[in-house]
Structure 1
C-alpha cells in the first residue's frame, strides 16, 4: 500500500480508484447522461451514505503504507516524525480540497454530464485556462495518467516483495531456508493467474476477504508493538539529513490517496457533506493520520533501528500467532494485487486494443497482462529491500500526484479568472517547493541507498 497508498484494499475504495481512470473524452461526455437531475447535478446510480464513504476512505488509505510507518519514523526520528506526519497530512488534505474545488468548477463551467476525475480535471483546467497554456491540456492529462500507472505498478512491485518477505519469514521458522528471490518466483505464479481475470466484478470478492485479513493482521501488529515499550530516550529524536528524504518518501506514499477523493465524493448521496469542516474528508483523514502516527511511533519505539519495512517482519519468531498474522497479511496483499493491477491496465490497454484490431483480442490482452505482471516481478527482483522500494515509489510518483499537480492547477485556474491572491501564490509555491524538495532529495537518497544495498549484497 503498500495502498498506498495508498493501497486500495477495499471493494468500494478500489472501485472508486478504478473510476479515476478516465475513458476517451467523447465517450466520457456521453456516458451516464441519464444520471443528471433537473438542476444539472450528477446523481450516482448507487449513492453511498456518509458512513459508507468514510469506510471506503479508510479502506483506500490503510494498507502496506501503514505497516511501513515504523521504518518511516526510524528515518525521521521519534519526535520529528509524528509532528511532520501531522503537518504532511494537513498539506495532503488541503491539496485534495484544491483538486475537489477545481473539479467542481470545471464541472459547472463545461456542463458535463458527469464530474471529471483527476486526469480530466487537470486537462480541463489547462484547456479552459490561459490561451498560451491550452496546448498543454492533452500532455497534462497523459502525464497524470502516466504517474497513476507508475504509482499503481509501484504498488504491485511492493506487494510482490511484501508477500515474499512474509512467506520467507514463515518458512524460515519451520526450517525451510530458501532465498528471497525463489520465494518471489513462487509468489508470482498465483499473482499471474489472478491477473488473468479481466472483469473487475469477479475480483471484488477477493477484496472483501483481503479487508478482513488486513484488519486482523494490523490489529495484532499494533497490539504487539504496544507491549513492553522501552524509554523514549533510547530512540533518535531527529534523524540525520541523509535519512529524512527516505522518511518523506515513505510518509507521502502512505498518505497518497488523492486519486480516491473525486470518485468518493461523486458517489455520495449528499456530496456536499464530503468537503464540509466535519465532512468525510477532514474527519476520515484525521482518523487515518492518527492511526499512521500511532503505528509509526509504537513501531519505532518498540523495535528501534531493527524495525522492518513491514512491521509484520518484526513479530516474534516461532510463535503460531505471528505466522498466522504474516500469512493473513500476505494473502491480503496477494488478493489485492490484481485489483491494483486493474488500474494501469485500464489506462494502457484501450489504446493498444485499437492498434491490435479485433482478431484474437482476448488472447492479446491476456498476453499483455502477463507481460505487465512479469515487469513488476523483474522490478521486484531488482529491488528486494521493501523499505527502499516504498520510499522511492513515494518520492517519485506519490509526491507528484499529491503535492505538485493540485497547486499547479489552482495557480492556472485562479490566475486565468483573475482571482489570484498573495496568499494563494505564496501557499501554492511553498507546497510546490516542498513537493520538488521531496521529489529530488527522496529520489536521490533512495537511489543512493539502493546502490549501497547492491554493493553490500555483492
Structure 2
C-alpha cells in the first residue's frame, strides 16, 4: 500500500488526531466517528493476507505513547479538580478519585479487549474505533440484539458530539472568566457575558480552518502553554498552606454528585486508548500490568489527586471552577499564567470542535451540500460555534458546567458502554455470563447510571440556584 504523508495533532483534552494530507474537498471523508478520526493516525503500509496489518507507518515507542497519554488526559478537567474536592471533601475525594481512576482504567481495558476481539473476528484492516466496536459487538451478538447495532453506534457518536461540544462550551466560559480577571486588574470592569461576546469572534475565526494540517502548530503551542501554566498554578497552590483540619472531610450528600460529575469529566480519556495502542511499535506493551495504560493512568490520577488536594486545601470553600481564577490579582506571575492558559484553551478549541464536525458534516453534506459545499460547511461551522456560545452564555458558572458535561456524557462513554459490550460479547461467545463478571459489570453500570442521574439533576439544580 502506498505510503501517504501524515500530519500528527495531539491536544490537551483527550484527542490525538492524525489525517492524511488530502485535498480540502475530501477533508472529512472517512470521519464517521471520533475514533475514526483519531485512528487514521495508524494507516498501514502493508496488510497481510488475512486482512490484518503488520506494519505501521510511524510506530511510536513506549515513552512516546506514554507522553501522548499524558497530553490526552491532562486538560481543563485538571484545573477543576480543586472545585471537585470542595464538593467531595478533603478525605473522601482523594480516596474516591483513586477508585474512579481504577474503574475508568478497567473500562478502558474492556473496550480495548472488545475492539481486539472484533478485529480478529471481522478481519478488518485495522482495529475498529469506539463507535464501531460497540456496533460490531451488537451486530455479532445475540440475535435479538443485532437490530440495535446501528442505534448503538449512533448513540455513541451522539455522546461523543455532546462531550466535545461540551468541552467547547467550557472553553468559552473558561477563556471569558480569565480575560475578565485580567481586565479587572486594569480597572476595566465589563460583565462576563460581554467578555464572551469578545471571545466569540476569535473562536469563530479560528474554527473556519477546515484542514487539520493548519492546526498542527496551534496544538503544539497549546501544549507548551498549558504545561507552563499548570506548573505555575501548582507552585502558587503550595505556598502558605493551612492545616488539613480546617477543611471539610466529607461534603454534604447534595454536593457529592457535583464531585462525581467533575471527576469523571477529568478522566474522560477513553476515546484515546484505541488509536494510541494501534500506532505503537509493540502494541502488546500497552495493556501489560506495567504497560503504558496502567503506568500512565496511575501518574495521571496522582496528578489529579495532588492538584485537587492542594487546590482545595489552599483556597477552601473559595476555590473556583478553575484554579487560575484563584491566583492573586496584580501579580506578574498570576497574569502570566492566566494569559498562557487562556491562549492554550483558545488554540485547543478548534481541535475539540473538529470532532463533532467530522462526525456530523459528511452526512449533511451528502444530503444538503451538493451545491457550494465549502460555503455551506462554513455556515454549518458558524452555527455550531454559535450554539456553543449560546450555551456558554446560558450557564456561565464554570464549575457547574464542567460537572454537567461530565454527568451527561462522560459517564456514558467511560462507565456504561464498556461493561455493556463486554457482557454482550461474553454472552454470545460463552452462552452465558459468569456470575462474578455480571456482578462486577452491573456495579460499574449502576455507578454510571447513579452519576448520570444525580449529577445531571444536581448540576442543573445548582445552575438554577446560581441564577
1:15 maps to 17
Structure 1 residue 24: Cα displacement: 12
| CA separation of 1:335 and 1:259: change in aligned 2, threshold 3 A | same
Alignment check: 8 A CA contact 1:122 1:140 kept = yes
Q: Take 1:20 and 1:231, find their aligned partners in 2: how far apart are those partners?
A: 51
2:447 maps to 1:434: yes
2:433 maps to 1:420: yes
Alignment of 1:346-385 (within 5 A): 346-385=358-397
Structure 1 residue 41: Cα displacement: 3.6
Q: Take 2:426 and 2:31, find their aligned partners in 1: how far apart are those partners?
A: 24
Q: Take 1:239 and 1:12, find their aligned partners in 2: how far apart are those partners?
A: 29
Q: Deviations over 1:202-249 (max 9, x none)?
A: 101101000010000000001110111001000000000000000000
Alignment check: 8 A CA contact 2:56 2:281 kept = yes
2:174 maps to 162
2:135 maps to 1:131: no
Secondary structure of 1:112's counterpart equals coil
Q: Take 1:198 and 1:221, find their aligned partners in 2: how far apart are those partners?
A: 34
Alignment of 1:45-444 (within 5 A): 45-418=57-430, 420-444=433-457
1:4 maps to none
Secondary structure of 2:452's counterpart equals helix
Alignment check: 8 A CA contact 2:369 2:376 kept = no
- In angstroms, what is the RMSD of aligned CA positions? 2.1
1:5 maps to none
Q: Deviations over 1:131-161 (max 9, x none)?
A: 0000000000000000000000000000000
Structure 1 gaps, min length 5? 1-7
Structure 2 gaps, min length 5? 1-9, 20-27
Secondary structure of 2:312's counterpart equals helix
Q: Deviations over 1:284-335 (max 9, x none)?
A: 0000000000000000000000000000000111111100100100000000
Q: Deviations over 1:359-406 (max 9, x none)?
A: 211000001000000000000000000000000000010000000000
Q: Take 1:258 and 1:365, find their aligned partners in 2: how far apart are those partners?
A: 29
TM-score, length of structure 2 as denominator length: 0.92
Structure 1 residue 357: Cα displacement: 3.8
Structure 1 residue 20: Cα displacement: 8.0
Q: Take 2:357 and 2:18, find their aligned partners in 1: how far apart are those partners?
A: 15
Q: Take 2:243 and 2:326, find their aligned partners in 1: how far apart are those partners?
A: 19
Structure 1 residue 38: Cα displacement: 5.4
Secondary structure of 1:220's counterpart equals helix
Structure 1 residue 71: Cα displacement: 0.1
Q: Take 2:262 and 2:34, find their aligned partners in 1: how far apart are those partners?
A: 31
Q: Which runs of 4+ in 1 moved over 6 A?
A: 16-20
Secondary structure of 1:14's counterpart equals strand
Give the stretch that moved more between structures: 113-122 or 13-22.
Answer: 13-22
Q: Deviations over 1:242-294 (max 9, x none)?
A: 00000000000000110000111111111111000011000000000000000
How many residues align structurally? 444
